[in-house]
Amino acid sequence: MRILLAEDEAVNRMAALAMLRRAGHTVVAVEDGPSAVAAATGGVEGEGFDLVLMDLGLPGFDGDEAVRRINARSNGAVSGPRILMLTATATPGGLERCQGCGADGVLSKPLRLDALEAALRGETPVAVATPDAFDPRAIAQMRDLLPPARVAELIGKTAGTLRQYRVTLAEAWRGADRPMLSMMAHKVAGVSAQYGCLGLRRAAQALEAAVEAGPQDVGVFLEALDAAYGPALAYLDARAAETAAF
């Protein structure tokens, strides 16, 4: 298939690109909403896309708005690409946006090829809640598809990105910047989900939901997120080291 991937997080984009291409697909990646609309609607004859994987949170305008614009420009044509939303959100509002924008389905991060194939068959992937802090299947999927050195590189970049986000979260808290707190919590949830750090994802989702719920003290949620950071970073560092040793 020809797939358009709209994902602003570099480490998630690199992982998804590598896996999808390794699975035999032709993939074009963009990083923001306007570029997604332009790519999905501007292809010349014979060079369109069979599928669009659209992240919900994108710069420029969000993925749900991009889907509405793509559908509006198709003028009801039945030959347009299928569109699946990608999201790490757990907030009711975020899920409603994914389900109500006109996309053909919703996939929860991390992107798993078996879930993607099920969605393309018209099945609804069932998300099974787990209390585990880590899901080793996320990195195992990468190891099955990619060379060990590439997987180790991706894991290392992810750990570095999460460390940067931790600093930005602390700065946002000190500056009482609630919009930035919400945005960074969403980013942490998305990145940690892709690499199987479920405990960190849950803590980030809880912080994002608390910030969006209104003017309340979210310090306890930030503390919980910070507490989840240590085990997640240790997990990623260990997986990178063991993968590099293969």
On whether both 115 and 142 belong to a single domain, the answer is: no
Domain-embedded: residue 128? no
On whether both 7 and 112 belong to a single domain, the answer is: yes
Task: For residue 2, count CB atoms less than 10 angstroms from its CB and return exposed for 0-12, middle for 13-18, buried for 19 or more.
Answer: middle
Q: Is the pLDDT of residue 94 over 80?
A: no
Q: Which domain holds residue 157?
A: 137-244
pLDDT band at 46 (very low <50, low <70, confident <90, very high): very low
Identify the domain boundary among 87, 120, 153. Answer: 120
On whether both 91 and 165 belong to a single domain, the answer is: no
On whether both 192 and 104 belong to a single domain, the answer is: no
- The residue behind tokens 């910047």 is 177
Q: What percent of the chain has pLDDT over 90?
A: 62
Q: What number is the average pLDDT over the span 73-102?
A: 76
Specify the CATH number for the domain of residue 88.
3.40.50.2300
DSSP of 17-66 = HHHHHHTT-EEEEE-SHHHHHHHHH-PPTT---SEEEEESS-SSS-HHHH
Q: Which residue has the higher pLDDT, 217 or 128?
A: 217
On whether both 110 and 36 belong to a single domain, the answer is: yes
pLDDT at 239: 95
Domain-embedded: residue 129? no
Q: Is the pLDDT of residue 77 over 60?
A: no
On whether both 155 and 114 belong to a single domain, the answer is: no
Residue-wise pLDDT for 114-136, tens only, equals 888 888 777 765 444 456 889 99
On whether both 38 and 113 belong to a single domain, the answer is: yes
Q: Is the pLDDT of residue 220 over 60?
A: yes
Domain-embedded: residue 125? no
Q: What percent of the chain has pLDDT over 70?
A: 91
Closest CA to 201 of 242, 232, 164: 232
Q: Is the pLDDT of residue 180 over 90?
A: yes
Domain-embedded: residue 130? no
Identify the domain boundary among 72, 94, 120. Answer: 120
177: tokens are 């910047």
pLDDT at 110: 80
**159/150 Cα distance (integer angstroms):** 14
On whether both 110 and 220 belong to a single domain, the answer is: no
- As a whole number, the mean pLDDT across the chain is 88
| Number of structural domains found in the chain | 2
Lowest mean pLDDT among 138-142, 210-214, 227-231: 210-214
Could you tell me if 88 and 193 are in contact, meaning their C-beta atoms sit under 8 angstroms apart? yes
pLDDT at 242: 93
pTM score over 0.85: no
Specify the CATH number for the domain of residue 209.
1.20.120
On whether both 145 and 170 belong to a single domain, the answer is: yes
On whether both 235 and 175 belong to a single domain, the answer is: yes
Domain-embedded: residue 60? yes
Domain-embedded: residue 18? yes
On whether both 114 and 169 belong to a single domain, the answer is: no
Between vectors from CA 152 to CA 203 and to CA 244, what angle results, nearest 5°? Answer: 130
pLDDT band at 45 (very low <50, low <70, confident <90, very high): very low
On whether both 204 and 175 belong to a single domain, the answer is: yes
